[in-house]
Amino acid sequence: MDALLTATVNLYDACAQEYLESWKDRRPRDSARTFARMAGQDALVLDVAGGPGVDVRLLRDVGLRAASGDISMECMKVARTFFPKGLLARWDYRALPFADNQFMGIWAPAALQHLPRRAIPAAMREFRRVQAGGPIYLSFPEGETDLALIDDPPAGKVQATSITAEELRALLLRMGYVDVEVESRPDPRGIPQRWVQGIGLAPTDPA
């Protein structure tokens, strides 16, 4: 990892359990239900940057099986404490430890925000590599910054890339997703940060 990413991971390491408590009841439940309908009942999906397991229960509750991981060692320790029987592992999502076409959905809220803008398409190509079909769900801080400081309590000030709704739509379409829908939402913690979220469908190859 480069120094900037290492510093960001260290911030999340230091507050892993607090972060789970802060976020576990503030998840995008309506988006998860839409994602589950698009993936199909009992589909295996990939939670690419799950932190301390904030969405393990959410994805299970909407009828999915999820493999969840994160680059933060402390976050994964907390996730394994709360979900000892979960499909949990530590990884860097820029080089996922899976063969091609393993999952029927990619769940990636706030997953790509800690990369510089120029590195986001390559990470998405890695997501697409392991995705056999189904939906992708992404969210970013809304804006036009490239690794600027934003508030992410309880972690504090973290470096994050923000994008506009138009940019997210264009990104999803460029990666080959169809039926793309994008919207802006307020931060569920009440802080003055808006988020842009997008969902699209990866077409499967014809038989």
d(CA 136, CA 203): 11
Contacts of 70 (CB under 8 A, 6+ apart): 49, 50, 51, 52, 76, 79, 90, 91
d(CA 130, CA 167): 23
Backbone angles phi, psi at 5, to 5 degrees: -65, -40
What was the pLDDT predicted at 68? 97
Please state whether beta strands 178-186 and 194-202 pair in parallel, antiparallel, or not at all (unpaired): antiparallel
**What torsion, rounded to 10 degrees, do the Cα atoms 65, 106, 34, 205 define?**
-100
Rg (CA), the chain: 16
DSSP 205: P
- Per-residue b/e over 171-198, b at no fewer than 16 CB within 10 Å? bbeebebeebebeeeebeeeeebebbbb
What is the maximal distance between C-alpha atoms in the chain?
49
What was the pLDDT predicted at 163? 97
In tens digits, what is the pLDDT along the chain, a chain of 207 residues?
678 888 889 999 899 999 999 988 899 999 999 999 999 999 999 999 999 999 999 999 999 999 999 999 999 999 999 888 889 999 999 999 999 999 999 999 999 999 999 999 999 999 999 999 999 999 999 999 999 999 888 999 999 999 999 999 999 999 999 999 999 999 998 888 899 999 999 987 644
* CA-closest candidate to residue 174, choices 105, 135, 103, 122: 122
* CA-closest candidate to residue 4, choices 146, 144, 108, 123: 146
d(CA 71, CA 46): 14
Question: pTM for this structure?
Answer: 0.94
Contacts of 108 (CB under 8 A, 6+ apart): 47, 48, 49, 127, 136, 137, 138, 139
